[in-house]
Chains A and B, each alone.
Chain A
Amino acid sequence: MTQDAFLFLLNGLLWTVGLSAIGFAGGTPAGLAIALARTTAPGPLNRAAAGYIAVFQGTPLLMQLFVVYYGLALIGLKLDAWVAVAIGFTLHASAYLGEIWRGGIEAVPRGQTEAATALGIRYVSRMRDVVLPQALKISLPATIGFLVQLIKGTSLAAIVGFTELARAASIISNQTFKPLLVYAIVGVLYFALCWPLSIWGARMERKLAAASR
Chain B
Amino acid sequence: MESHADTASQPMIVMEAVEKSYGAFKALTNINLTVRQGERIVLCGPSGSGKSTLIRCINHLERYESGKIIVDGIHLGDDMRTVDAVRREVGMVFQSFNLFPHMTVLQNCILAPMRVRGIVRAEAEGIARALLDRVKILDQADKYPAQLSGGQQQRVAIARALCMQPRVMLFDEPTSALDPEMVKEVLDTMIGLAEDGMTMICVTHEMGFARQVADRVIFMARGEIVEQAPPEEFFRNPKNERTRAFLGEILHH
Contacts and interface: CB of A to CB of B under 8 A. Distances in A.
Interface of A: 109, 111-112, 114-122, 125, 129-130, 133-134, 137, 211
Nearest to A115: B98
Contacts of B246: none
A118 B99 CA distance: 12
Nearest to A130: B100
A121 B157 CA distance: 15
B101 A134 contact: yes
Contact of A119 (B101, B102, B161): B161
A119 B100 contact: no
A35 to B, nearest CB: 18
Q: Is the interface of A mostly helix, strand, loop or mixed?
A: helix
A117 B90 CA distance: 11
Q: Is the interface of B mostly helix, strand, loop or mixed?
A: mixed
The number of chain B residues touching the other chain, given as a range, is 20 to 34
A120 B87 contact: yes
A115 B145 CA distance: 14
A119 B160 contact: yes
A129 B111 contact: yes
A120 B116 contact: yes
18 contacts: A109-B98, A111-B94, A112-B100, A115-B92, A115-B98, A115-B157, A117-B87, A118-B61, A119-B87, A119-B111, A119-B112, A119-B116, A119-B161, A121-B112, A121-B115, A125-B115, A129-B115, A211-B146
A211 B102 CA distance: 12
Contact of A134 (B94, B102, B116): B102
Contacts, number: 61
B74 to A, nearest CB: 13
Interface string B112-130: 1001100000000000000
A129 B103 CA distance: 9
Contacts of B146: 211
Nearest to B111: A129
Nearest to B116: A120
B104 interface: no
B59 A118 contact: yes
B133 interface: no
Contact of A120 (B99, B101, B164): B164
Interface string B142-162: 000010000000000100110
Given A112-B100, A129-B115, A118 B84 contact: no
B167 to A, nearest CB: 13
A116 B160 CA distance: 11
Given A120-B88, A120-B116, A122-B84, A133 B111 contact: no
